[in-house]
Amino acid sequence: MDKIITKIYKLLKDTKDLIAFEEQLRMYMYETFALLLGKVLSQLDKSIKEEKQKEG
């Protein structure tokens, strides 16, 4: 969580206007959510695969 807050702070500090900040923040949020969702789905896939292998 600290990394996310730090990244948002850096974006806000480095951006000259709020519209550009909003666009950059939106892109960062999409990237972060996509990364986290990918991790969740990979873990889910791994768990399902292990269960199916146990069943035979």
pTM score, whole prediction: 0.74
Give the chain's end-to-end CA distance (angstroms, integer): 40
For residue 7, the enclosing domain spans: 2-55
pLDDT, one tens digit for every residue, the chain (56 residues): 789 999 999 999 999 999 999 999 999 999 999 999 999 999 999 999 999 999 87
Q: Do 32 and 4 meet the contact criterion of CB atoms below 8 Å apart? A: yes
* Calpha distance 40→34 (Å, rounded): 10
3-state helix, strand, coil in the chain (%, to 5): 90, 0, 10
Q: Do 55 and 38 meet the contact criterion of CB atoms below 8 Å apart? A: no
Sign of CA dihedral 18, 20, 23, 27: negative
Domain count, the chain: 1
